[in-house]
Chains A and B, each alone.
Chain A
Amino acid sequence: MSFSSFEFILFFPVTCVVYFLIPQHRIRNLWLLLASYFFYMSWNAKYAMLLFGITAFSYGWSRMMHHFGFLKSGAKRGAKGVLAFGVFVPVFLLFLFKYANFLIATVNGILRVTAGSRLDITVSLLLPVGISFYIFQNLSYVIDVYRGDVAPERNFIDYALYISFFPQLVAGPIELSKNFLAQFKYLHTFDYDRVKRGLFRMLWGYFLKLVIADRTGLIVDAVFGNTAVYPGAWQLLAALLFPLQIYTDFYGYSTIALGAGEVMGFTMTDNFRAPFLSESFADLWRRWHVSLYNWFRNYVYYPLGGNRKGTGRKYLNLLIVCALSGLWHGANWTFVVWGLLLGIFQVAEGLLKWNSESKHTGVRILRILLTYLLFAFCFVFFRAPDLGDALAVLASIGRDFGTPAAAGFFGTVISGRACAVLVIAALLLLVSDICKVRGVLLRDRILSGNRALAWTAAYALLLSVILLGVYGNGSGAFIYFIF
């Protein structure tokens, strides 16, 4: 059940109405848990068993660690080993479902070159939706309990809800237990203004997804789906548009998730902080997929030593984190290269001391554009099915650049009017992002101001989503669901 499906449009209000009608928060949590599992099982009921299994394991193991004193602060021998097992089990399951075939293919590639043989093994398992997200959330909890950052949760329903809360279950934000788990401990009363703000936020999320992301996707998919037909200029256009597509796709999803949570009284991490206004990769890295960045910073970068062990080690740690972050996205070398490129650009910026902000507007704009351009370059690897394809796209961009535009592109793939809509919508996003960076919360301004303005804005968004959104032919599916 995608957020942009008809089923969700029915599911969400029913869930909310029942939620607010239940007077006791424990029963409310039980209701939300059932609704979340129903939401998850709408993809494949079998997946729920894995979700439940991992949740039960992390819950039980953390209780056991705490009960027997296997904590960082305790002097008990073997505490690290106990933690390692608590981390190993979810990571192993993630590996089994997501990376096993990738590893086999890589080993086979090496064997083919060195020994001329191959392993005759394949793992036939469907990748459960959102597995990377909820496993990382489980891991954060187990590690936090070990570190003593959070007390082990007693109530299994609250814990299971923290892992499976439907707005963020399949594509985040990956919430740390110390920020989020506590929110299930008290009753969230119905607050008219909060509900209003949450619904408006959801509407904005749908606008980002259906009007910008899916319309941009029409161009990107048409070109990258048939690179042999489109000359270099078109491939460059698609490469430049893909970051916008994936940003609005994922930002749209996150905004709907945050809005849905807000309606019910929950506050979650905003995953994007106007990333395309970043003047450097270091800045971009902090603004793009913030909850994943926080996770890797807390549980990988800092334990590796962070920036405390010298410049060389800092850059090495950064490269490791970036490569792992790339691998987290998918079992393919393209993602690893994407992550490494992000890391290499950050290291280069650090060495060239380019990661401080400039005071000149012109220079700042140039740096923003350059960062976007290089980010788009990285995303060629992210989008391509394999490294060869990515390199072919890059080579093709440099070739045949002067070839006339593919005949009929603006008539068949996307109309002139649709292009105009896309440009206007993207400008609206730019204005919104600029306001965000300057600390102006447009949504609050609109909703707390004149009622006529608020209603006009809400109606305009609603109509835009309906009239200008792209529907059918596979649109509406969120890119990050496959991670």
Chain B
Amino acid sequence: MKKVWTTIAFTAGALLLLFLASALSLRGIRDAGNDHRDFYALEEDSLDVLFVGSSLAYCGFVPAVLEEEYGISSYICGSPNQSMLADYLWAEEAWKTQHYKVLVVEAMSFPMSHGDVANDLRSLNTMKRLSTYPKLALTYKRESYKVLFPVFEFHDFWESGSMKNAFAPVREEAAFLRGYVPVLSRAQTAEQILDETSDDSAYLKFDHADRIADFCNEKGIQLIVVKTLQARADVNRWDMGYHNRVAEYCGSRGIPFYDFNTAEMGLAAGLDPLTDVAEDGRHTNYDGAKKTTEYLGEILTQMSETEFRGKSADASWTREFDDFLKKMREN
């Protein structure tokens, strides 16, 4: 019997070590993106709109503008290369404290939803609720052990400079950003990315998008898909083939789809790839994000069936945001 207890104690110790090493590795892989602490600090049920998506989402929408100009409070749950699966899990997670009315999905999540456990662990790294991880583990099946013990995925976190990250205190984001990461540079060249129709989008799957759509139907949330403006199509691949497939999917599910890369949408929003996209050609800069947000603000306010909470009495953070931008521009 003593040997049984010894074995149990040893195994428990090993699991505890794995758990600690996993926690350390997750701290080690933190990047410069949002840590979502400000999201968890939000007053309960204070959000109207939730944005989800990759860096194209957190550079593409400006919650401060939406609040200041349209009285619609919002937040962006985004991370680099965020997949549609992570979008879904963030949407579910956010619902626990925020009964938002509109969910805006940045469409680059469709190409990114092809399943990468490391990517999804990074995207959900800042999420507080452990209940998400079993769902992620079930999705990944054969790689579920990496979800349960992320150290198996990020075992080499000590090898790069990220070892410092593991022990550094968590950097808090300014509350006025609300998940937004501003970029001020401008693209040097621009191409009409929808001029080409390739078959590259053939691999797209919509199972996680279906989960989001079903979740929104169940909770009475208005789902909107938005593709932000890009000035080049090679790194984050997007062309007419992608546009058509996503448009077809959204059409079949009755989801409004706005692609700001089309001539008519670009014109309507006043977007110009040369002035409104950052120099990497992929992310919208602040000007582009502002125009995109304003256009969305117009659409949202015209939704007769959706009643927004109105501008917060204490929206002083939007002024802080203005000051922040001024400083950024001066630098």
Does B155 contact A467, Cβ atoms closer than 8 Å? yes
Scan residues 117-167 of chain B and give those whose CB is less than 8 A from a CB of chain A: 142, 145, 151-152, 155-156, 158-160, 163
Q: A462–B158 Cα gap in the complex (Å)?
A: 16
Q: When the two chains form their complex, are residues B21 and A466 in contact, meaning their CB atoms are under 8 A apart?
A: yes
Kindly report which residue of chain A lies nearest to residue B145, judged by CB atoms: A6
> In the complex, are the beta carbons of A466 and B152 less than 8 A apart?
yes
B95 within 8 A of partner (CB): no
Least CB distance from B7 to A in Å reads 8
Q: A6-B145, A415-B160 given as contacts; is B14 within 8 A of A462 (CB)?
A: yes
Query: Quick check: A467 and B151 within 8 Å, CB to CB?
Result: yes
Distance to closest chain A CB from B48 (angstroms): 43
Q: Is B13 an interface residue (CB 8 A)?
A: yes
Q: Quick check: is B324 within 8 A (CB to CB) of the other chain?
A: no
CB proximity of A158 to chain B, nearest CB, Å: 31
Judge whether B40 is part of the interface by a CB distance below 8 angstroms: no
Asked if residues B10 and A458 are in contact (CB atoms below 8 Å), the reply is: yes
Say whether A418 faces chain B, with CB atoms less than 8 Å apart: yes
Q: Is A77 an interface residue (CB 8 A)?
A: no
A6-B142, A192-B3, A466-B21 known; A459-B159 Cβ under 8 A? no
Chain B residue at smallest Cβ distance from A465: B155
Residues of chain B within 8 A of A451, CB atoms compared: 6
* Chain B residues with CB under 8 A of A302: none
Q: Flag if A467 contacts B145 (CB, 8 Å).
A: no
Cβ–Cβ < 8 Å partners of B3 in chain A: 192
Task: State the CA gap A6–B155 with chains docked (Å).
Answer: 15
B246 CB to nearest A CB, Å: 32
Nearest B residue to A460 by beta-carbon distance? Answer: B17
Q: Which of A435-479 contact B (CB under 8 A)?
A: 451, 455, 458-459, 462-463, 466-469, 471
Interface residues of A (CB under 8 A from B): 6, 192, 415, 417-418, 451, 455, 458-459, 462-463, 466-469, 471
28 A-B residue pairs with Cβ-Cβ distance under 8 Å, sorted by A, are A6-B142, A6-B145, A415-B159, A415-B160, A417-B159, A451-B6, A455-B10, A455-B13, A458-B10, A459-B13, A459-B14, A459-B17, A462-B14, A462-B17, A463-B17, A466-B18, A466-B21, A466-B151, A466-B152, A466-B155, A467-B21, A467-B151, A467-B155, A467-B156, A467-B158, A468-B155, A469-B155, A471-B155
Q: A455-B10, A466-B155, A468-B155 are in contact. List 13 more A-B contacts (CB 8 A).
A: A6-B142, A417-B158, A417-B163, A451-B6, A455-B13, A458-B10, A459-B14, A463-B17, A466-B21, A467-B151, A467-B155, A469-B155, A471-B155
Shortest Cβ-Cβ A-B pairs, 3 listed: A192-B3, A415-B159, A467-B155
